Chain A
């Protein structure tokens, strides 16, 4: 069964600090991996999409890494801001999986404290 596990479940850091969120998956065959940011009570917003051949992709202060061999990804946030407080969801697409070929993690709930 395809699974996406995220850690930690929740994280509290001080404004200005860096943090790294982890995502491990068992989805196979692999197509791509996505990170989404979801503010409380809002819809998810795409941060990055990474395919098998991409190791690193950045979007401003967000940098995602992918190791397709170990089936691990990370999302690094640099110089955190209060607006970074949100849930971060890792989503993995199964190749040829069609519309329901997306497996969602439960997310990491990140709180930035002033």
Chain B
């Protein structure tokens, strides 16, 4: 199974600060169809997860453009340019290139 390693496990940020979360895969996530099925999700406290970024760098509809994704093959990054209070929660990367689909262990973002 593909293992996704997220770092850091916790992140503390002030409002307006820019932060990055890393997701490293044990295998390349480049699919034979040319796409890379690496997504980022946010789970706010007490809520269901929501999709933020799909296929590495595509912003889901309705998601603020302070969120951005980058990377390729095995190394991926989620960046928040100017954290806002509503961004607190746990961020997960997820891969759907290889079955079984797997998730990272999560990065908890706290607001100072």
Q: Do A and B come from one complex?
A: no
